[in-house]
Structure 1
């Protein structure tokens, strides 16, 4: 039986309006229109028929008629990008811990007037079955299909089926640390910076002007930071970690490695004491003592389970770690969301600049609880109201 028409009315179904791999997504199913329609440039509208195409590995080229309104996500970097593009309400599902991400992001968004997320109750489950995606019936899977096939229940054939029968895939996640894709994706994969991915996602939502404005804020901040960075021999040694509960050990994470996970630390050029240790592996307390970092950065340190105060207390009260330079000098600081999008990246770059170089960029307040701390206006590395206005379309 042909499934491109409704079986009872003969009316066109979703499959009439949506095709994958270089054809149209949209029609009457996706609401909204773009102020940028008519631009005959890569990734924007085709003057002949009003469609526009966007290309990103590993999905290839996808064409749209209108920005999607019902978007599936896995990790928060893509959701952050939708929010930054002014389409945060389009995020309708999140497969990785939406309640945690809601809490984490809102701690930062507290400082952007009129900007917040409501992710806590989004439907989502890790390694969902295909039926779950059929039930979600999304307009777009803003997610990396190669990353999806890292889950036990998914194959490339499964993502192809969902891309054809429900909605296309468009996202890139393995650029988080330039990780190797599965063999079946090797010929289709490319790596991008965080802001390159955001540029493409912004085109999906026809929000190029928001992208350009936020990119300018980011570039100005990096220019300020790079101009004032101390010489290499004056930069601190740093360990980025997550303390393992109930053990005298910790996970270590790259500070200057490739990918968007380090997009906020790499530009700061500090010395990674565990640069020779494979990222996401474990070391014990003795290794930390031997490395003796000037600063310890605690990933997810604003979350309840991995709170920075717990790490401070354990290190301060342990006879092995109490002599570490970072512990003695009270330089154990929090980090935020690891899978950052552009909004989180702006905040985390400012945060980390202050944590590593307080004499240059202003001191980071010792974080104990609550939202991202208030920073005096003359010590802010980017303008909160300007960013909020860009996201809200008021610039």
Structure 2
């Protein structure tokens, strides 16, 4: 499958979604598989059985049978949680995680119950927690559980699916682990919009799903029509928020990485501007001030930086510009080498998007990323309110988002 997400809205996919929506409305549900490199069309819709059960297909879980439309779902990756939120099904969500918190959701009066036991505890995922959640579906990749916790094997997965609920998920946020490569994720994992389509099928939300995919398609078209073509794309050095400039420790990330966490950069067409491309780094991309000065990017973006000041970081949900500056900018300004960096001298050490994103968060982050790279075209970023954009500069209609979530389509 091509990792260029601008392909996600190809006519065959959109036609299929409309066909699938009509089938759902008639009492049937569509199965949907991720596309291969050949651009093959999704599988044909499958009929529900007399008892109301139905199957939906997606890599890597293949065909999954549901006894009925889930009334509760447990997630781990918050990009998948955002898919549920985007479909207006927040009341079904069971998670304690806050990776995409009030920064995005408060503006639509969205809140969810976070009083659930964490799936990740003491370096693993205890099986009893899955029983405690007891949802109708786990929107979690079972391969991820086995990769991260050696106590799990296929028999444990089968036990939970038999006694609690099916697993339906794909760890498609970041696709670079050895276990993912061995199992074909780079070629077969669904993109975020493709995964969203299957979640929409599972939750029987064809109208909201189609509305979101239309909005995504229109946003992408607007973005492409306005990206400057003068060849002046600034170079960017993307560092993880786990970096510690005060200690001279930076964790480089690569824009070419597959998975939905880099989707805004692919959609903006700036992957080739990656200052770290081809640069040798240590474990987890660790590097230092000397290497930072060697690549000397025009912009230094902090991955997950937009959530600095969020509930996750102990804040109140709004981006905290002062905290961001103290944690990432000031140490560079005070370092003999760091102060020589072009991005530091020109005030372009900036908060980058969070990695976790479904349709709602991605819409805001696509717009944010455009403003980070091309402020002359898309508007200057207001660091006190980075998601507040003058109406004339908005790439999508906020009221339409609210209407989709509320079902006023």
Given the alignment, which residue of 320, 323, 328 partners 1:311? 328
For residues 1-395 of structure 1, the aligned pairs below 5 Å read 36-39=25-28, 41-42=30-31, 46=47, 49=50, 50-94=52-96, 98=97, 100-101=98-99, 104-111=100-107, 113-114=108-109, 116-126=110-120, 127-152=124-149, 153-174=151-172, 176-177=174-175, 179-181=177-179, 190-231=188-229, 233-242=231-240, 243-244=243-244, 246-270=246-270, 271-277=273-279, 280-301=284-305, 302-304=307-309, 307-309=323-325, 310-367=327-384, 372-395=386-409
Q: Name structure 1 gaps, 5 residues minimum.
A: 1-33
CA separation in 1, counterparts of 2:352 and 2:181? Answer: 33
CA deviation digits over 1:336-371, x for unaligned, max 9? 42122221111111100000011111111225xxx6
* SS of the residue 1:150 aligns to: helix
Deviates more, 1:304-313 or 1:140-149: 304-313
Q: Name structure 2 gaps, 5 residues minimum.
A: 1-22, 33-44, 314-319
Summarize the Cα distance change of 1:181–1:36 in structure 2 as closer, same or farther, 3 Å threshold.
Answer: farther
* SS of the residue 1:347 aligns to: helix
How big is the shift at 1:314?
1.5
> Could you state the TM-score of these two structures normalised by the residue count of structure 2?
0.78
How big is the shift at 1:290?
1.3
> Could you state the TM-score of these two structures normalised by the residue count of structure 1?
0.81
How big is the shift at 1:156?
2.3
Would you say how many aligned residue pairs link Structure 1 and Structure 2?
351
Deviates more, 1:211-220 or 1:228-237: 228-237
Summarize the Cα distance change of 1:223–1:295 in structure 2 as closer, same or farther, 3 Å threshold.
Answer: same
* SS of the residue 2:55 aligns to: strand
- Larger RCO: Structure 1 or Structure 2 (Cα < 8 Å, ≥ 6 residues apart)? 2
CA separation in 2, counterparts of 1:83 and 1:187? Answer: 25
Q: CA RMSD in A?
A: 2.7
CA deviation digits over 1:231-267, x for unaligned, max 9? 3731110011132265202111122322211111112
* SS of the residue 1:233 aligns to: coil
